[in-house]
Structure 1
């Protein structure tokens, strides 16, 4: 995320957003169960709350986006369950992964915390890509580029303003926080992004033989 942005912009100003009944399916690492991630986000959001033009990520849905699978029109409920079962089979052989977060990443549309070392999390991405390709015939999409940069977004920009005062206030880091990543969750995001109408379909647990699923009729 370099160089640093000079200006923030409204993420949703010209962004096409899906209707309320449209669902987008993601593989996410949900960060709500990790105290270190919660504290890091709170520290950043406390400072950002002193500025106008920010939409904070709800603490319940703090996350690390791993892979975009597709829409609910393309992927059936049964396929979601198959993906979860496949991910669990792979990740049952992967031990929980210790990582650190706290370094701030700036983007014109968001403020994020880097999760590192990125390479340590590759088994999670590989599992998501493999089962998505096997079940749907498509490998899924990595957000923003072909190279996955693990991060947790703490706030989205909703206004046009200079980035300099924000960067000066937040600096380069909110400290160093330790997290042990132990799960990958399949989530349906219903409707517009900022509504946070999320449905966790199920979770594949690292080092565990069985997934936690919430199957529903197709």
Structure 2
């Protein structure tokens, strides 16, 4: 395992980044499976468990807050709502554990199921800002992060404690959120800006 926080360039407090995230703060099934994972990992050093309030599936980095205007944010939300009005809720299965040197995650399967959501917010970001945004990882592998690694250490004890699979859990994704992450990631200073539902006409409050 690697130290994620040492390896990454952090923004200073007061500077934020806009992310398209699926948030799960109202999804009991996701909370239950992550709670089970956290219980298995309890007591192991060098792990920062993701707070349940901010359990998420990262989809796209839309840009820095000091480079995206309020008007562009409004356009991004409006266009995402227009595109996702044609998308039905998407059900994926989580349970398979994936290990990365910097994180422990639950894969969302099947591969490609959430592509319509990703394509919609990428198109909305392009229309609003003139660029596609940045995928957090390539190829895009939808997942829910359970914990981040904060130390250089062997992975074997972690894999032994958690294993390769938890009982499968079906998760229905019905919306995606535009979120501002302010300052260093490990501070979890997040501010949701808008929730864009699938299959509905979104009424967007104007930002000024």
1:122 to 92, 115, 138: 115
Show the counterpart of 1:164. 156
1:57 to 33, 50, 63: 50
The unaligned stretches of length 5 or more in structure 2 are none
Show the counterpart of 2:38. 45
Show the counterpart of 2:105. 112
Show the counterpart of 2:179. 187
**Runs of 4 or more off by more than 2 Å in structure 1?**
none
- Structure 1 residue 11: deviation in Å? 0.7
Give, in whole Å, the separation in 1 of the partners of 2:7 and 2:175: 34
- Structure 1 residue 184: deviation in Å? 0.8
Show the counterpart of 2:124. 131
Q: CA RMSD in A?
A: 1.2
1:83 aligned onto 2:76: yes
Show the counterpart of 1:12. 5
Give, in whole Å, the separation in 2 of the partners of 1:160 and 1:211: 47
- Structure 1 residue 211: deviation in Å? 4.6
Aligned length: 208
Deviations 1:52-104 (A, max 9, x none): 11111110100000000110111012211111111111111111111110110
Give, in whole Å, the separation in 2 of the partners of 1:80 and 1:116: 30
The unaligned stretches of length 5 or more in structure 1 are 1-7
Structure 1 SS opposite 2:132:
coil
TM-score scaled to structure 2, two decimals?
0.96
The answer to whether the Cα contact below 8 Å between 2:92 and 2:171 also exists between their aligned partners in 1 is yes
